[in-house]
Structure 1
C-alpha cells in the first residue's frame, strides 16, 4: 500500500488553492512547474488534480562575462578570467587533486573543468572559437618570413676576398681585361664579341697570395638590369673606359649604379696602345660625371692599361689589392649561409642550377636554401670550371643544383634555413604575400574601372535627360546605339591588324630577362606582337605543339635544338630560329614583323607636261567636250596611269583619262617632246594654258616596322 504523507497532502492542497496567474517569461528546464499532479491514494487508484502554472522570474546575473576558447589551456584560461597562474593552479587542485598533472602543461582543459573554475572565481564563461589561422598569419607576417642574420661578433670575423665587378660601355674591353687578369681565354668563347651573361670567377692574382672574385657584366644596352645587379653584389667596381672612345652611355649608367650601391670605383683606361688613344681627354670626360681621379686631385685610383697587350695589368692588380685592404673586408664562415644569385638556368642532368656568390657562412652539400619563392637542398656544388667543391665560404662563387619548383631569380638574396619544413613555410608565406599584393593592385584597377564606367553611365544618362527621356534603360538607348554605330564603321572599313606570335627560349634567366625587357619596349601600331610563352631551357615537344596551335615562331637564344625537335617542328610547319647574339635576334624579329605588314600603295610620278591650249569638240551632237592639248616635258604619258591637273599649287583634277590622241590617232602612251590630246573622264573640268599635267603610277612598297629599341 502506498499512501501520501500528511505534509505532502498539505503542500499539494496549498498549491491547488493558490490563485496564480498564467506562466510568462522564460522558464528553465529544471524549474518548469507541473501543470498536472497525479496523487496516488491507494494501490491502483489515482486522483487527478490540476495545478495552475507558477511564474518563474529570470534573475539577471551580476557575474563578469569572459570569452574563453573552447579548447583553452591553463595560460589562456588564466588570461581570459583575469587571474594569475598560481591562483588558477590552486583552484584546479581544490577541485580535484588529480589536476596536478595539468599544471604547467599546454593541454586543453575540458569544458566541465573550465565551468567549475569559473564558478569558483565568480566568472560567467562564454565559449568562443579560435580566430582564423590565416588572419593570424597576416598579423605575424614578420615572424613567418626568413631574414638575414644580425651582424656576427667580431671574434668570428675573418678576412675574405674582395668581389670585383668589371663594368663599362660595350666593346671597351671588359672581358679582354678579365681574360688578361686570369690568363684565360673568355673572349674566344663569346658570340659576336660581346658578353651576354654575368660571369662569376675566382682568380688567384699572379705573383700574389690574394684571391679575387670577378663579375663580368654585359655592356650592351639590353643588359641594363644585369649591370645594376652586378653593382649591388660587389665590393669594388672596375670602370673600364676606352681611351680612343671616352665616356659613353653605358659608362655613365655604370657610374650611376656604383654610386647608388655605395661601391668604390677604380678606373681602368683601356686601349692606350692605339694611335688615337687620348687618356687625358678620358680623364676630363670622367670629371663631368664627378669621377675625379687621383692625378687630377681626386681620390679615385686610375690605371692606364692595354688589356690586349697586357700592359700595366700588374699595376691594376695592386690597385685592387690596395683598395680591398683599405676596406678591410671581413665575414664569418660560421652560422647559416647567405649569398646572392648571380645567374640561374637549367642544365641537362642537373635540373635547375644557379650561380651564387657566398656572402656569409659556408654552403655545403645538403644545405637548405631559399631565394625569393624558390627553395632547394644543395645536391651538387661546383666552381666555374665545373670542378666539385666540398664547401663554399664567403666571397666564393659556386654553381648549385637541387632547386625545387622554380628557378631562383637573379639578384635575389639566398638565405639558408634550418630544415625543408622551414623552407616550405617561408616559400608559402612569400607566395601568399605576393598574391595579396597582386589582389590589392587588382582591386585598385577594378575600382578605377568601376568609377570610369559609372562616369560614362552618368554622361549617357545626362544625354537622355537632355533629350527629355526620363525613363528607360540608358544602356539600350545610348550605349547600344553608339556600339552599333562603331560596329557599322568597323564593318565598312575592315582594318584587321596583323599579329606576330612568338615563343622565347633562353639559356639563362638573366638573358631571358634582358630579352623580355627589350620586347616590353615594343610600341608599333603597324603589327601586334604577342608573347605566347617564354622560359629557360631548350624547346621541347610541348613548345612545338603550342607554336603549331597558335601559329607562333620560336626564337631560341644560346639554347641547343635537338634533331628530334627540328624534325617535329618541320612536320608541324613551325619555324624555330636559333641565335647566339642578342642584336641578331632582335634584327631577325624586326624583319619578321615587317614581313607581317601588308605592303602599301604609293603614287610614283612617271611623267610631266603642260597645257598648250584647250580645245572644245562636239561629240555626236552632245555638248562640247574640253580636250587639253599638252606637250610631254619628260617621261611617258600612259593611258592606264593617273593624271593630275595642277593650276599653280591647286589640284584641279586627279584620276584616270578616257583617251589619249596624237595626230588624229588614239594612242596608249606618249613619250617626251610629244604633243598629245588628253581627254578626261570628268567632262566638267576646263583647262587653262600652262596648267601642269603630272602622270602618276601606283607602286606597291613593302612596309618596315617602326620599332627601334635602344641599342639596336
Structure 2
C-alpha cells in the first residue's frame, strides 16, 4: 500500500497481516498494516512421560532436563509450579476483591460525610431563615406600633391654600372700590377650601387628597403622583387584619371520619376534607401505589386518617340504611287518610267490572281478553265526599304473588264472589291473603242479576273457609251487588266508609314520604315508571328517593286520571318518573335528603343482592353439583326468553313457567325482562335455540330483521291463558311416548322337536286369542317369566305363516333361546306407543 512507503509491515513474525486505521488532527487518517502473533498451541502426544510432545523443547525433554532429575521429580516440580501459579491467581482475585471492598467503604464514608455537611448546611439555612423571619416579624410589629402612634397624634395645621386667581380678583375689586388689598375679602370658595382642610386634618394622613382636586393643587403638588384612595383603603384593611391575627394559618380541625369496610381514596379525602393528591402521596410513602379511584381496606385507611390527625370511626356497610329508619310519628302530627281498598276474587267474577261501576268508567274494555293482568290503583270520590283508594288485583292463578303484594299494603279487602259460580280456587287464595295480612274483609256477592244466581250458596260455601258473614251470625259484612245494573253499590261504599271509620286510619303528611311499588314497567319515551302507593308522608316533585336497588329524583308525578300533580299525600296512588332503573314490584320507596345517600344505599343493596346470589351458588357442594348434573341428564328442557310490558307480568309468567313440567320435562326461562324485544334478546335466543315470548310487547325493527335472518321464533301473547297452554303443549312434545302392552293370545307347548339348521322348535296349541310372528313373546314356566323376546319362526305344518288362530296347532322357535320344555306357556303381546301430555 502507499501508506507503508515500501517498508516491511510491523509484526512479530509468523502472524497474519491486518490493517489498523489511525486518526490525527484536522481530520487526517492513516492506515497501517500490522501483523498479529498467533498463540502457540502445544498438543501433547500420548506416550511421552510429561504429556508434552517429544522434541518440543519442554522441560520434559530428557535432552534438556537438568542432570540427575528423574521423571517423578520433574512431575513434582511441574505440579508445584502449577500450584504456585494457581495461588497467584487466587491471591490476585482476593486482592482485587479486597480493593473493591475498601473502595466501597471509602465511597460510603464519603457519602456519609457529604450528607452530614448537607444536613449541617440545611440546618444553618433553616436557622438563618428562622432568624430572618423573627426579625421581619419584629420590624413589622415596630412599624404597626409606629403607625398606631402616628394615627393617635393630631396632624399639624396646614395654612389654607390661597387661590392666585381669587387674590387677583380681590385686588382688582379693591382697586376699583378703594379697599386695601392687604386684607383680602374671603370668598365663598375660600371658606369651602378651609372647611375641606379642617375635615381633612382629622384623618391624620398628610399625603391623602381631601375634597376636590383643583388645578392649582394638581400643578403645585409635591411628590408627583400619589396612591388612590382605594389602594390606601386596601393597605389599611390589610394592616388591620394582620394586626388582629387574621393572616396567621388557621388551626387544623380534627374530624371524625366514618370508615366503612372498604373506601375509595377520593371518598376518604373528601371525608377528611383533605386534598386527594396528599392522600395518594401518603399512601405511596406507605408503599401502596394506588390512584384516587382505587379502593383501600379499612385498616390502611385508618392509618392514613391517623397520619392526617383525624379520628377514624368504624362503621358497617349496613349503616348506610340508617338514614331511612322508620320515623315514629307523634300523635299530634297524625291526620286522617283515605282507606286503601283492595278488590280480590276469582278470575272472571267481575272485580274490574265492579270497580268500573263505582268509578263510572270502563277499565275492563282496555284489558286483553277482558281479564285484568296488572294491578291498577285508582281514587274514587263518593257522592258523600269521602275519598277511597282502590287496588284492582288480577284474579288469575299466575298472579298470586301480585295479589299477595296487594294485600300487604291494603286496609280493607273487598272479596268479590260471583253468585252463579260461588267459591273458586282463587277465592280461597284471596281469603288466605287477607287473613295473612290481618285486614278486615267485606264480601261483595256479584252478578245477582243473573237468573241462576244463588247468594245463599255463596254464604254457605264461605263457611268452609271460616268466613262467617253477618246474615250467618258472623262479623264479616256482605253486600249483594250487580256491576251491570248498579244494584247495591251505594251499600258497598257505605260499608267501606263505615269500616274505615272503625279503623280510624291516620298518617303524618308532613314527613319524608314512604310508599310501596305496586307495579313497575319500562315505558318507551318515559323510561322506568313505577306505580307507587304513598303510605306515609307526602311525595313531592324534586324529591330524591331510593327504592329497592334503584334510586332517582322525582321528575314527574301522574295520578290515576293521567294528570300531572306536584305532590301526593298518604293513600294516594301515583306514577313516578325519574328512576335510574326498573324496580321490583313490592319494593319500598323511601325519600332521603341527598343524592349521595341515595346512590350509596342503592349501591349497598345491589352489592348485598350480588353477594347473596354468590353465597347461594358457593354453598353448593361438589357432590350436590354432580347429583344435580346426573339428575338433569335425563331431564329434557324447553328454553324460552320472556319479555313483558310490566315487572309484575314478567314475574307472574316466570312463576307459571316454573310450575310446568315433571321429572322428565321442564321449562327453563333463560331471561326475563321488561320492555320491547331487542336484538340482544334475539342473539341469546339463537345461541340457546329458544323461542322469544312477548307478552304485550313487540320486537323492534332490528330485532325482527335479526330473527328472520337467524331463524328465531317470536311469539306474541296478550292473554296469559294462551301463553301457559301453548308452552305446556310445547313441553309435552318433549315427553317420551308411553309404551302400552296389549295381550293378544296364549299358546301351550305340547312337544319339543329338534330341527336341523333351526334348533329346538316347540309344538304349540294356541289356547287363547291369536299368535302373530311380529308380536313380542314371553316364556312362562309355572307362571314365572323366564324369557322375553321375539319369535324366529312361526309355522303351520310346513308353511311359514304370519298368524295362527285360537284352537290351532303351530310350531314356534325363539330368537337366540333354546331352553323350552313341554308344559311351558307362551304369552303373546303387542306394544303400542301413546302420546303423553303434561297435566
TM-score by structure 1 length? 0.68
What is the match of residue 149 of structure 1?
Answer: 327
Residue by residue over 1:488-534, the C-alpha shift from the partner in whole angstroms, topping out at 9 and shown as x without a partner, is xx9xxx96653322212121111222222334446633135433221
Q: Aligned partners of 1:134, 1:515: CA distance in 2, in Å? A: 50
CA spacing shift, 1:321–1:646, aligned 2, 3 Å? same
The answer to whether the 8 Å contact 1:137/1:144 transfers is no
Say whether 1:546 aligns with 2:546: no
Q: Aligned partners of 1:378, 1:605: CA distance in 2, in Å? A: 71
What is the match of residue 364 of structure 1?
Answer: 540
CA spacing shift, 1:269–1:135, aligned 2, 3 Å? farther
The answer to whether the 8 Å contact 1:170/1:218 transfers is yes
| Correspondent of 2:694 among 556, 560, 565 | 556
Residue by residue over 1:646-665, the C-alpha shift from the partner in whole angstroms, topping out at 9 and shown as x without a partner, is 45632344222222222432
What is the match of residue 350 of structure 1?
Answer: 526
Q: Aligned partners of 2:637, 2:252: CA distance in 1, in Å? A: 74
* Pairing of 1:565-584 with structure 2 (within 5 A): 565-584=703-722
What is the match of residue 116 of structure 2?
Answer: none
Unpaired runs of 5+ residues, structure 1, are: 1-33, 35-95, 110-126, 454-482
The answer to whether the 8 Å contact 2:660/2:728 transfers is no
Q: Aligned partners of 1:506, 1:341: CA distance in 2, in Å? A: 17
What is the match of residue 102 of structure 1?
Answer: 251
* Pairing of 1:678-693 with structure 2 (within 5 A): 678-681=812-815, 684-686=818-820, 688=822, 692-693=825-826
What is the match of residue 422 of structure 1?
Answer: 597
What is the match of residue 357 of structure 2?
Answer: 180
Residue by residue over 1:386-423, the C-alpha shift from the partner in whole angstroms, topping out at 9 and shown as x without a partner, is 3333432322211122210x312212221122232232
Q: Secondary structure at the match of 1:102?
A: coil
C-alpha deviation, 1:438, in angstroms: 5.5
CA spacing shift, 1:581–1:293, aligned 2, 3 Å? same
| Correspondent of 2:345 among 168, 175, 181 | 168
Residue by residue over 1:18-52, the C-alpha shift from the partner in whole angstroms, topping out at 9 and shown as x without a partner, is xxxxxxxxxxxxxxxx9xxxxxxxxxxxxxxxxxx
Q: Aligned partners of 1:260, 1:408: CA distance in 2, in Å? A: 25
Residue by residue over 1:420-456, the C-alpha shift from the partner in whole angstroms, topping out at 9 and shown as x without a partner, is 223212223333444565666667x27xx49x89xxx
Q: Secondary structure at the match of 1:656?
A: strand
Q: Secondary structure at the match of 2:691?
A: strand
CA spacing shift, 1:151–1:677, aligned 2, 3 Å? same
| Correspondent of 2:760 among 602, 625, 642 | 625
Q: Which has the larger radius of gyration?
A: 2
Say whether 1:607 aligns with 2:744: yes
Q: Aligned partners of 1:590, 1:623: CA distance in 2, in Å? A: 52
The answer to whether the 8 Å contact 1:370/1:415 transfers is yes
CA spacing shift, 1:667–1:391, aligned 2, 3 Å? same
* Pairing of 1:234-383 with structure 2 (within 5 A): 234-383=410-559
| Correspondent of 2:381 among 175, 198, 204 | 204
* Pairing of 1:666-705 with structure 2 (within 5 A): 666-670=800-804, 675-681=809-815, 684-686=818-820, 688=822, 692-705=825-838
More helix by share: 2
CA spacing shift, 1:677–1:564, aligned 2, 3 Å? same
| Correspondent of 2:798 among 637, 649, 664 | 664
Q: Aligned partners of 1:105, 1:99: CA distance in 2, in Å? A: 18
Q: Aligned partners of 1:617, 1:288: CA distance in 2, in Å? A: 73
Q: Aligned partners of 1:528, 1:329: CA distance in 2, in Å? A: 47
Q: Aligned partners of 1:108, 1:177: CA distance in 2, in Å? A: 61
CA spacing shift, 1:309–1:143, aligned 2, 3 Å? closer
Q: Aligned partners of 2:737, 2:559: CA distance in 1, in Å? A: 54
Q: Secondary structure at the match of 1:130?
A: helix
CA spacing shift, 1:143–1:394, aligned 2, 3 Å? closer
What is the match of residue 639 of structure 2?
Answer: 501
Residue by residue over 1:237-285, the C-alpha shift from the partner in whole angstroms, topping out at 9 and shown as x without a partner, is 1112233443343333323322332322212122333444433343344
The answer to whether the 8 Å contact 1:147/1:415 transfers is no
Residue by residue over 1:69-113, the C-alpha shift from the partner in whole angstroms, topping out at 9 and shown as x without a partner, is xxxxxxxxxxxxxxxxxxxxxxxxxxx99989539886999xxxx
The answer to whether the 8 Å contact 2:761/2:811 transfers is no
The answer to whether the 8 Å contact 1:373/1:427 transfers is yes
CA RMSD of aligned residues (A): 3.8
What is the match of residue 88 of structure 1?
Answer: none
What is the match of residue 138 of structure 1?
Answer: 316
Identify which of structures 1 and 2 has the higher relative contact order when contacts are C-alpha pairs closer than 8 Å and 6+ apart. Answer: 1
CA spacing shift, 1:227–1:659, aligned 2, 3 Å? same
Q: Aligned partners of 1:311, 1:334: CA distance in 2, in Å? A: 40
The answer to whether the 8 Å contact 1:371/1:412 transfers is yes
What is the match of residue 567 of structure 2?
Answer: 391
Q: Aligned partners of 1:524, 1:266: CA distance in 2, in Å? A: 39
TM-score by structure 2 length? 0.59
CA spacing shift, 1:675–1:310, aligned 2, 3 Å? farther
C-alpha deviation, 1:546, in angstroms: 1.0
C-alpha deviation, 1:345, in angstroms: 0.5
Q: Aligned partners of 1:373, 1:607: CA distance in 2, in Å? A: 67
Say whether 1:191 aligns with 2:368: yes
Q: Aligned partners of 1:241, 1:695: CA distance in 2, in Å? A: 57
C-alpha deviation, 1:354, in angstroms: 0.8
CA spacing shift, 1:288–1:421, aligned 2, 3 Å? same
Say whether 1:654 aligns with 2:803: no
* Pairing of 1:399-548 with structure 2 (within 5 A): 399-404=575-580, 406-435=581-610, 445=619, 449=621, 497-521=635-659, 524-527=662-665, 529-548=667-686
Moved more, 537-546 or 415-424: 415-424
What is the match of residue 193 of structure 2?
Answer: none
Q: Aligned partners of 1:271, 1:644: CA distance in 2, in Å? A: 63
* Pairing of 1:83-94 with structure 2 (within 5 A): none
